[in-house]
Amino acid sequence: MNPALRQYAVVTGNYWAFTLTDGAIRMLVVLHFYQLGYSPFAIAMLFVFYEVFGILTNLVGGWFGARLGLNRTMQMGTALQIFALLMLTVPAAWLTVPYVMTAQALSGVAKDLNKMSAKAGVKLIAGAQEDRLFSWVAWITGSKNALKGLGFFLGALLLALLGFAGANAALALMLLIGFLATLTLPAGLGAIPGKTKFRQLFAQEPAINWLAAARLFLFGARDVWFVVALPVYLVSIGWSFEWVGAYLALWVVGYGMVQAAAPTFFRRRQQAPDATAALWWTLSLVGTPVLIAAALWLGWPPGWVVTLGLIVFGGLFALNSALHSYLILRYSDFDKASLNVGFYYAANAGGRLLGTVLSGYSYQQIGFIGCLLVSAGFLMLAAVFTQQMSRLMVGAKG
């Protein structure tokens, strides 16, 4: 195996192990605290620090990656996630809201250190070959999302088999293997010689700023109805915890598979994976939550409506996400990869924070249909920002 492929395999393998724990812990917390009688909004608030610290971590993490190397930031993120998981193995009486929010804050730092390191690392390992870059970033992103879906199911299953503390201990042990693998990465991967100025945390290129704004509302549109509202809604219509976990896991696995296959899809359509394509695919997504909301309002069977809606939404969202993940790397210079990726995924975390909080609050105030309409509004904003990025890139080519 050549060195580049071996390094890609290590980065991907660690990212896979981390993703399983990230999906599992999310489902563990949602289901465990709903079982304890917490309201949807209270459950959403448990994840606020997770997202807030994710935003900060992406900004500072890109800077650390440029100074210390992406191998070190990946190791830091993995070790911190192990610690956050072990924090949740304490007796049930200790699991107060502030304590769980603190553990989630550490998990948010860990997740985004790991994610930034993996995505920026792919840019450096793949080199200047654009086709290989699109394929590799689509595969690592798509497979990650498929495994996050398996993590949802794993979290629900472990909760049923081992209880809350036992499930978290098992996940920490699994992630230790991923940490040991990262020790084989070359030292100083992606480090920039000389001092990296702190003001470089924020992207200097207008196109990347517009792309980051579009990413914020794209992921806010997904999470506003998916993170808290959807599992609580499914439980409220009579579904069991295990079935909800399996159902959401299957959706995310399918979503990840579509994402991983995105390069093949665009090659067969002979469509360039550029800013213009990103605009049209964002627009194609806008109507999906509106149609789901209309069908539920008309009283159609909710199980079938949600299932068919999730299939369409998931496929379109996967293509959009794959395009975005590729474009941030394509439009970033090699010496700015970790900084730009950090800034971009700070916007991603901001969208998740906005979507998570509104998922609980909107569901509590205006119901599941209301969450879907908020999602449609966010997608329109994402399309507007993507159009601005497209205009800049077309102008630059001209």
Fold of 3-187+196-397: Growth Hormone; Chain: A; (1.20.1250)
pLDDT band of 394, cuts 50, 70, 90: low
Q: Does the pLDDT value for residue 185 go beyond 90?
A: no
Residue by residue, DSSP assigns 252-299 as HHHHHHHHHTHHHHHHHTT---SHHHHHHHHHHHHHHHHHHHHHHHTT
Q: What percent of the chain has pLDDT over 70?
A: 81
Taking only the tens place, the pLDDT of each residue in 138-180 is: 777 777 777 777 787 888 888 888 888 888 999 998 888 888 8
d(CA 331, CA 392): 12
d(CA 246, CA 251): 9
Q: Does the pLDDT value for residue 215 go beyond 80?
A: yes
Average predicted confidence (pLDDT) for the chain = 80
Q: Does the pLDDT value for residue 90 go beyond 70?
A: yes
Taking only the tens place, the pLDDT of each residue in 14-31 is: 788 888 888 888 888 887
Taking only the tens place, the pLDDT of each residue in 227-241 is: 888 988 888 888 887
Q: Does the pLDDT value for residue 398 go beyond 50?
A: no
pLDDT of res. 72: 81
pLDDT of res. 373: 95
Mean pLDDT across the stretch 182-194? 65
Taking only the tens place, the pLDDT of each residue in 296-317 is: 999 999 989 999 999 999 889 9
